[in-house]
Structure 1
Amino acid sequence: MDLVFRPQPTIYLLWAFGDEETRLVIEAAHERAIERVLEWIEDEVPVIRYGKDGVYRVRPPGGLVAARFRHYEARSGRRLLADHLLLSVKGSGGTGSGGRSTTLALHENTVAASALYNELIASEVCEELGLATEPRTVTPGRRPVMDIAGAPHELIRWTARRSDQIAACLAELEHEYLTAVDDDGEPRFRPVVSQRARAKMKQISARKARPPRRKTQPLAQLRAWWKVSAILTSGVAADVITYLFEHARAAAAVIRAWVAAVVDVALAAVDVTATVFVMNDGGRFHRRHVLAEARRHLALV
């Protein structure tokens, strides 16, 4: 199974455009957050199956085994700090016998693990660099995400070029799906795109929009090119890009002067429980759902 760890867009923008010290602080926070998430998975998630037909599920007594590699650049040419961890399917069972990793348990806890990673890296980056977070609405009507304050939203949109290409391709496929007719001129499909059909179209769109692989270049050269590219094509003022870290520090100073990081535990518990109850069918939920929502709630503080 491939686990991908990638910071929030504003964090890897600071990583790409900031000075060397900023880059190293963010990379260190990124690595520590990954370690903490893996520790949580090893301690809390029963990911090893053993016994006849894998009926028993236990936590890995010897830990997980993974191969790890890092991306510095997306196929689109945009900056990208992302680590891939390929987990071994082999493990030790509860009696010392051989076992296998179960992707089901990992998939069930993906959201909780993702929320933990986002919370850890954002809090450490803010603490070490004197920054602060603010909510940003990605999809109207949905819960906002927390990004580093002071980074222009136009710059965040500039990072999403491939997402826009995939969305455009998906729109074309959906139009073809809805307008397709058979030999008798009758619609071939239902007038509404099903979730399964849309998921398949998204996969096709991602493949069609995938550019060819680029030649690997040194990180220092990439960072210089990213800054020039952003200045030329993002529509954001050059001084904002050049001094992005200073803009973020200034925004953080204003936020820290007005906002106290105080959590009303009782109110937080009610909010988390109510959200989990509503979001899960019939109010049936597991501990992992509460963990994920609690971590998202804390990120908004």
Structure 2
Amino acid sequence: MDPGPAAAGREGGNLSTDSLRTRIVAAETLYPLYLMEEVSSRFGWAWEPREVTSGHRPVMEITGIDRRLIGWQSTRRQQVEDALSVLTDEYEERQGHPPGEKVGYALACQAADRIRPPKHTELLSLTELRTRWRTSAIQVFGACTVYRLAERARAAAAP
């Protein structure tokens, strides 16, 4: 008797770790693809890859969005890289050689923890956050840039 799909990935009545990991990896792969497909079909936008870290998988971004807007709120990455540079230099000075992969990862975690701002106690709704982001973006880039984002993304996707 076939136990059917409900029992798939079970060993002795328990879910196996490997089976769960396989499904998580599949979901992590499929969800962004599904999201991109939905956004493209609903809004007429296209996507393009951008290499953020050499040798790593590229980040997919909506075609036609000004790169200044993409990086505008992304100051944390640069702060982590700056802190990591200091930690790496200190490590090399102490140990006499550059860190390996595992130590490099641990140093990156330390750098992220060092620059992490204290948690905000004020909880904001998505509407409040969007209003703040929009107001800030308009102050930095102007209303025309902010309010014409969707139009520019659609135009860039047309060819």
The TM-score by the shorter chain falls in which range? 0.7 to 0.9
Q: C-alpha distance in 1, partners of 2:23/2:71? A: 29
Of Structure 1 and Structure 2, the greater helix share is in 2
Superposed, 1:206-221 pairs within 5 Å as 206-214=112-120, 215-221=122-128
What is the one-letter code of the residue matched to 2:71?
R
Which protein, 1 or 2, shows the higher relative CO under an 8 Å CA cutoff with sep ≥ 6? 2
Give the unaligned 5+ runs of structure 1.
1-41, 52-92, 94-98, 181-188, 256-301
SS of the counterpart of 1:138? Answer: coil
Q: How far apart are 1:218 and its partner, in Å?
A: 2.4
Query: Does the 8 Å CA contact 1:240/1:247 hold for their aligned counterparts?
Result: no
Q: How far apart are 1:108 and its partner, in Å?
A: 5.3
Verify: 1:248 aligned to 2:153, yes or no: yes
SS of the counterpart of 1:131? Answer: coil
| Alignment size in residue pairs | 153
SS of the counterpart of 1:146? Answer: strand
Query: Does the 8 Å CA contact 1:136/1:146 hold for their aligned counterparts?
Result: yes
Which one of the candidate residues 99, 102, 114 is aligned to 1:193?
Answer: 99
Q: C-alpha distance in 1, partners of 2:142/2:51? A: 22
Of Structure 1 and Structure 2, the greater strand share is in 1
Q: C-alpha distance in 2, partners of 1:109/1:171? A: 36
Q: How far apart are 1:113 and its partner, in Å?
A: 2.9
Q: How far apart are 1:132 and its partner, in Å?
A: 1.5
Q: How far apart are 1:230 and its partner, in Å?
A: 2.2
Query: Does the 8 Å CA contact 1:227/1:242 hold for their aligned counterparts?
Result: no
TM score, norm. by length of structure 1: 0.45
TM score, norm. by length of structure 2: 0.80
What is the one-letter code of the residue matched to 2:109?
Q
Query: Does the 8 Å CA contact 2:79/2:115 hold for their aligned counterparts?
Result: yes
Cα deviation 1:150-175 (Å, max 9, x = unaligned): 11112111232212221111111101
Match of 2:130 in 1: 223
Query: Does the 8 Å CA contact 1:230/1:241 hold for their aligned counterparts?
Result: yes
207 and 106 in structure 1: CA distance in 2 versus 1, 3 angstrom threshold: farther
Verify: 1:126 aligned to 2:40, yes or no: yes
| % identical equivalent positions | 36
Q: How far apart are 1:237 and its partner, in Å?
A: 4.5
Give the unaligned 5+ runs of structure 2.
none
